[in-house]
């Protein structure tokens, strides 16, 4: 089981991990169209993997974790998945390449999922590959034998040193129509979404992995990044029309008209307007957040006239209570991209422009792998901004006394 009431098969199991290569780069290049890339990628692989008899263990953003009761079915799923991806027409004519890793073992099926080093081994094999490549362990290769899908050949890559599992004999499953060669597998590969998924499964049942990875399931940010954050004054962001800078006490006066506007506040917090004194306290909390975490909500300024038009940036939440929290606090965390623009400046695309800069800062500088946007029901304009930025609807939540939609972006 894995927290959702779905039973997974036991015995000899072949694991298949997949992970989009260069997802952050694609997000930066495609902008609003990246959400469609993620959606198409999920649909294509789900159709192929389920047709081959696969069981979806979990998915996080651009990564999949599937299990199969037969090694050949898993190999066929990987091959057909790569072919479906290569034949698909992607937005903007871009090239989306997915690395895949296969390993067969006899894991224990615990109350919350598969348990054992085989999960980590499969994820490490995936991470050692390159976009468009399928790698398999020696065990999977032996079980498949010569019963390969049509148009597929095997290339022996020899022993590879993989982090945590040390040496593994790795094979590449080459598609004849691709006619391309890949660089050598990544030794001691850097952390990927597949790694994070594998580590989280193992850690939930038994602490057999010493080093904690940036697991999306834990909803936490990299501690080293946040603790070592530079002085807030160095974190000013700039777009074509806007400057996003850390707040100062004087911003309260400029932001007061926005916080006192019923139409602006209709979908913010509990929906009530703020007095000038409450606005001052709100700005002070923004400043304190910057001092504690090294990031937070920016005062957003229009370049052409130096007018403060709103506040946009990052908010750290405890998803169990939906109260704000600090980066060094214990427990799970969610990082939100929040955006509020004064009504005189609506309709100019400022929210999308500023929130896009905050999103890129969180992904690139903070190393965040998951971002959220919480939007009160009925706020169609904010939903449109979230979708333009690549966020996808995930679920409904209760935010204080109000119903809200949780949108998420995972890389």
CA distance 203 to 201: 6
Phi, psi of 268 (to 5 degrees): -120, 130
Q: What is the pLDDT of residues 33-70, one digit of tens each?
A: 888 888 899 999 999 999 999 999 888 768 899 999 99
Greatest mean pLDDT among 33-42, 187-196, 330-339 lies in 330-339
- The rounded percent of the chain whose pLDDT value lies above 90 is 59
Greatest mean pLDDT among 3-7, 153-157, 216-220 lies in 153-157
Which residues make beta-bridge pairs with 337? 314
Domain assignments of the chain as residue spans, ordered by start: 13-218, 224-410
CA distance 109 to 10: 6
Report yes or no: 98 and 122 within 8 Å, Cβ to Cβ. Answer: no
What DSSP designation does 5 have? S
Per-residue pLDDT, averaged over 384-411, amounts to 93
Q: What is the pLDDT of residues 255-314, one digit of tens each?
A: 999 999 999 999 988 889 999 999 999 999 999 999 999 999 999 999 998 899 999 999
* The two structure tokens encoding residue 108: 């224990």
The predicted pLDDT at position 216 comes to 37
Handedness of CA 307, 309, 314, 315 (dihedral sign): positive
| CA dist 318 → 328, 330, 333, 336 (Å) | 12, 10, 5, 11
CA distance 301 to 299: 6
Q: What is the pLDDT of residues 225-265, one digit of tens each?
A: 333 333 434 479 999 999 999 999 999 999 999 999 999 99
The predicted pLDDT at position 112 comes to 63
Q: How confident is the model at residue 7 (pLDDT cuts 50, 70, 90)?
A: low
The predicted pLDDT at position 230 comes to 36
Q: Which residues contact 331 (CB under 8 A, 6 or more apart)?
A: 318, 320, 325
Per-residue pLDDT, averaged over 344-356, amounts to 94
The predicted pLDDT at position 193 comes to 55
CATH superfamily of domain region 13-218? Nucleotide cyclase, GGDEF domain (3.30.70.1230)
The predicted pLDDT at position 51 comes to 95
The predicted pLDDT at position 253 comes to 92
The predicted pLDDT at position 284 comes to 93
**What topology does CATH give the domain 224-410?**
Aminopeptidase (3.40.630)
The CA dihedral of 43, 45, 46, 47, to the nearest 10 degrees, is: 80
The predicted pLDDT at position 207 comes to 39
The predicted pLDDT at position 196 comes to 54
CA distance 186 to 198: 18
Q: Where are the alpha helices (DSSP H) in 52-178?
A: 71-87, 117-128, 138-144
Residue 355 has pLDDT above 80, yes or no: yes
Q: What is the pLDDT of residues 93-149, one digit of tens each?
A: 888 999 999 999 988 876 667 877 888 889 899 988 999 999 999 999 999 998 899
**Helix and strand numbers, DSSP H then E, in the chain:** 12, 18
């Amino acid at each position: 089981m894995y927290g959702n009431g779905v039973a997974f098969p036991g015995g000899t199991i072949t694991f298949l991990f997949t992970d989009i290569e260069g997802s952050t780069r694609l997000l930066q290049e495609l902008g609003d169209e990246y959400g469609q890339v993620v959606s198409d990628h999920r649909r294509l692989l789900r159709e192929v993997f389920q047709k081959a008899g696969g069981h979806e263990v979990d998915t996080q953003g651009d990564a999949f974790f599937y299990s199969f009761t037969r090694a050949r079915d898993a190999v066929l799923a990987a091959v057909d998945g790569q072919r479906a991806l290569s034949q698909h027409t992607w937005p903007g004519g871009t090239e989306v390449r997915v690395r895949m890793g296969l390993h067969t073992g006899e894991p224990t099926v615990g109350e919350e999922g598969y348990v054992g080093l085989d999960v980590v081994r499969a994820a490490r094999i995936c991470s050692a590959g390159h976009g468009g490549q399928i790698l398999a362990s020696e065990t999977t290769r032996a079980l498949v034998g010569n019963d390969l899908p049509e148009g597929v050949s095997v290339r022996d890559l020899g022993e590879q040193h993989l982090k945590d599992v040390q040496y593994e004999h790795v094979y590449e499953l080459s598609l004849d129509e691709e006619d391309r060669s890949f660089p050598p597998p990544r030794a001691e590969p850097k952390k990927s979404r597949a790694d994070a998924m594998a580590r989280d499964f193992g850690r939930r049942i038994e602490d057999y992995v010493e080093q904690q990875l940036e697991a999306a399931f834990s909803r936490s940010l990299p501690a080293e990044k946040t603790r070592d954050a530079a002085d807030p004054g160095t974190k000013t962001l700039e777009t074509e029309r806007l400057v996003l800078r850390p707040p100062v006490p004087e911003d309260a006066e400029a932001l007061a008209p926005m916080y006192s506007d019923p139409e602006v506040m209709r979908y913010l917090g509990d929906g009530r307007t703020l007095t000038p004194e409450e606005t001052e306290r709100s700005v002070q909390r923004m400043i304190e957040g910057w001092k504690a975490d090294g990031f937070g909500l920016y005062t957003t300024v229009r370049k052409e006239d130096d007018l403060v038009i709103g506040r946009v940036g990052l908010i750290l939440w405890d998803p169990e209570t939906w109260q704000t929290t600090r980066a060094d606090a214990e427990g799970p965390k969610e990082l939100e991209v929040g955006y509020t623009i004064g009504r005189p400046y609506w309709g100019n695309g400022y929210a999308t422009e500023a929130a896009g800069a905050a999103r890129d800062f969180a992904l690139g500088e903070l190393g965040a792998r998951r971002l959220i946007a919480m939007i009160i029901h009925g706020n169609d304009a904010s939903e449109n901004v979230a979708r333009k930025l690549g966020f996808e609807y995930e679920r409904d939540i209760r935010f204080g006394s109000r119903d809200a939609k949780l949108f998420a972006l995972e890389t």
